[in-house]
Amino acid sequence: MTFDFELLLVLATVISGVIWVIDAQYFAKRRQPLQTEDKEGETETNEPYLVEFSRFLFPVVLVVLVLRSFVAEPFKIPTGSMLPSLEVGDFILVNKFAYGLRLPVGHQRILNLSDPERGDVVVFRYPENTNIDYIKRVVGLPGDEVAYYDKRLYINGEPVPQKPVDESEQGDYRELRYKETLGEVRHDILVNPVSSARDFVVNVPEGNYFVMGDNRDNSRDSRVWGFVPEENLAGKAFLIWMNWDCTFSEMITLDCQMPSWNRIGSIIE
Active site positions, annotated: 81, 136
Name residue 233's amino acid.
L
Give every CB contact of residue 9 below 8 A, 6+ residues apart in sequence: 61, 64, 65, 68, 69, 104
Give the integer Cα–Cα distance in Å for 124 and 222. Answer: 12
Task: Report the greatest alpha carbon distance in the chain.
Answer: 82
Long-range contacts of the stretch 12-16 (C-beta < 8 A, 24+): 12/57, 12/61, 13/58, 13/61, 13/62, 13/65, 15/54, 16/53, 16/54, 16/55, 16/57, 16/58, 16/61
User: How far are the Cα atoms of 22, 183, 232 from residue 191, in angstroms, in the given order?
Assistant: 61, 20, 28
Residues 159, 142: contact at Cβ < 8 Å? no
Backbone φ/ψ region at 234: left (φ over 0), alpha (ψ -120 to 50), beta: alpha
C-alpha 23/C-alpha 30 separation (Å) is 10
